Amino acid sequence: MSRFDVLVIGSGAAGLTAALTLAPTLKVGVIAKGALGEGATNWAQGGIAAVLEEGDSFDNHVADTMTAGAGLNNRAIVEHVVSEAPAAIARLAELGVPFNPDGDGWHLTREGGHSHRRIVHVADATGWAIQQALEAAAAAHPNIALVPDMVAIDLVTGRHAEEFSTSGAVHGLYAFNRNSGRVETLLARATILATGGAGRAYLYSTAPRGATGDGIAMAWRAGCRVSNMEFMQFHPTCLYNLGVKNFLITEAVRGEGGVLTNPKTGHRFMPDYDERAELAPRDIVARAIDSEIKRDGLDYVHLDISHREPEFVRDHFPNIHEKLLGLGIDITTQPIPVVPAQHYTCGGVLVDVDGRTDAPGLYAAGEVTQSGLHGANRLASNSLLECFVFGEAAAKHIIANWAALPEPPSIRAWDESRVTNSDEEVVIAQVWGEIRRFMWNFVGIVRTTKRLERAKHRIDLLRQEVADYYRHFRVTPDLIELRNLVEVADLIVRSALSRHESRGLHYTLDYPEMAADAVDTVLVP
């Protein structure tokens, strides 16, 4: 059994921001289910949105965020996050993130849905640079213990206490230690979920392998409300290459003049769908590509930036240029084959402005949450920003309310007396593949009630199967993830079925119109 003042589950932008804010005052344990840099943060290419350009304003950023979010955003939260952005960027620069300079300030790119140049970046590897800086600062801090290879299974609540309680308070978690192969109990007065999204519920996703919605499923099982899970963002431009899955071509390629063409006809099709053409919000671009692909039976469409100076292309997109060159595509002279892929989970665990969930002692920050910032669709580059603002807010709230957070009670150790080692692991791979395939086919970019019901029917069967399996066999990382994936798929489908309109990322042929009132989907355990 290990004890910390505060436990942070997740070592991406949200988790490490929280840990660094807590560390001057409290002892923090940060766990990650694999290596520390395996979350989505490391993969972010584009950058972070902040109002820094002359002539831009907080009001503009708020308006762009609300337009993308189709009015479902919580305006007060949007205003709060937008106004915190410049300070968050300054803190990162202080930590040593080498943002691209421009004159006295930083170079800003423009991305779809933004009315101004607003994206602070480190070439096209912003997330990597941020992860490096945060990890280095956390590793150097004596009050932070970084614990990789520790897979959270479930939150510890009063139900796991020697003295049973239904208070709902969270006191830490049970986690599987990959190195010892044993389940450990980690206790803390406060716990922060920073486990990222649930993209791997889909067959095609730009999200890392570990994005299986663990935090959402754990919070749900611990009694927290989950909201807006139907709003899954599909990135319009993932590289189409059968050997290399999940390589994203950043929005900034379109921001810097890249055009989308139909490879059969050579026609630039985006102006047919939206007056903003390639700079329309992601959902519109993704649906347009989906429609071209389905109508003409294509495998992919082309994204072409070869009309710009080769030097400009190489300077702005060094990683993409190099990666694709290795695959035989020179983007300074050739178009890039692209398809849409799941990219961002807008919904998640409901939190307030301080990152508090419904469970006392449990906070959450980053992609695992529904904070009210994104509404029905995330504006590009607002998500890293959300991690910094809420990671810090949760930490500050914990510090300010430290005295009110109780010491964890005595907790029962993990009980393995009634389980054995699995003799049919093939079930896990089979069910995992099934879920991702039907989620892609039935709960994807364009939905219908019938398809959603088909998905629901399958989930109900698989849930039962996975629950049986979980009851009988020792946990493994794959089983832990699969159990969460089924839970999260169920939450996505139930949310989608309950929304009788098309809004933002949720587009259904049965309810193609947007309703007059914007109402969040809130699922109550």
Ligand X SMILES: Cc1cc2nc3c(=O)[nH]c(=O)nc-3n(C[C@H](O)[C@H](O)[C@H](O)COP(=O)(O)OP(=O)(O)OC[C@H]3O[C@@H](n4cnc5c(N)ncnc54)[C@H](O)[C@@H]3O)c2cc1C
Residues in contact with ligand X by the rule CB under 6 A = 9-15, 31-34, 38-41, 43-48, 126-127, 150-152, 194-196, 206-207, 210, 214, 248, 344, 366-368, 381, 383-384, 387
Distance, in Å, from the CA atom of 309 to the CA atom of 317, rounded to the nearest integer, reads 12
Q: How far is the CB of 175 from ligand X (least distance, A)?
A: 6
Q: How far is the CB of 271 from ligand X (least distance, A)?
A: 25
214/501 with CB nearer ligand X: 214
Both structure tokens of 403: 């005295």
24, burial (CB in 10 Å: exposed 0-12, middle 13-18, buried 19+): exposed
80/458 with CB nearer ligand X: 80
Q: How far is the CB of 17 from ligand X (least distance, A)?
A: 8
| Beta-carbon count within 10 A of 462 CB | 21
Distance, in Å, from the CA atom of 298 to the CA atom of 290, rounded to the nearest integer, reads 9
34/409 with CB nearer ligand X: 34
Residues facing 106 on adjacent strands? 101
Q: How far is the CB of 395 from ligand X (least distance, A)?
A: 13
Q: Which of 200, 282, 378, 499 is catalytic?
A: 282
Q: How far is the CB of 512 from ligand X (least distance, A)?
A: 29
47/172 with CB nearer ligand X: 47
Whether the Cβ atoms of residue 421 and residue 167 lie closer than 8 Å to each other? no
Query: Of all residues in this chain, which one has the CB nearest to ligand X in the complex?
Result: 12
Q: What string of H, E and C letters represents the secondary structure of 449-495?
A: HHHHHHHHHHHHHHHHHHHHHHHHECCCHHHHHHHHHHHHHHHHHHH
From 160, 141, 203, 164, select the one nearest 16 (Cα to Cα).
Answer: 141
9/496 with CB nearer ligand X: 9
Integer angstrom CA distances of residue 398 from 42, 472, 512: 26, 38, 43
Distance, in Å, from the CA atom of 347 to the CA atom of 72, rounded to the nearest integer, reads 12
DSSP 115-129: SS--EE-STT-HHHH
Pairing of strands 182-187, 2-3: parallel
Distance, in Å, from the CA atom of 100 to the CA atom of 10, rounded to the nearest integer, reads 27
Catalytic site includes residue 282 = yes
206/508 with CB nearer ligand X: 206
From 302, 293, 287, 310, select the one nearest 254 (Cα to Cα).
Answer: 302
SS3 assignment, position 57: coil
SS3 assignment, position 519: coil
Say which amino acid occupies 493: V
Q: What is the length of the chain?
A: 525
Both structure tokens of 267: 């026609």
148/263 with CB nearer ligand X: 148
Q: Give the full edge-to-edge strand order of the sheet including 6-9.
A: 144-147, 28-31, 6-9, 190-193, 362-364
Q: Hey, which residues are catalytic here? A: 282
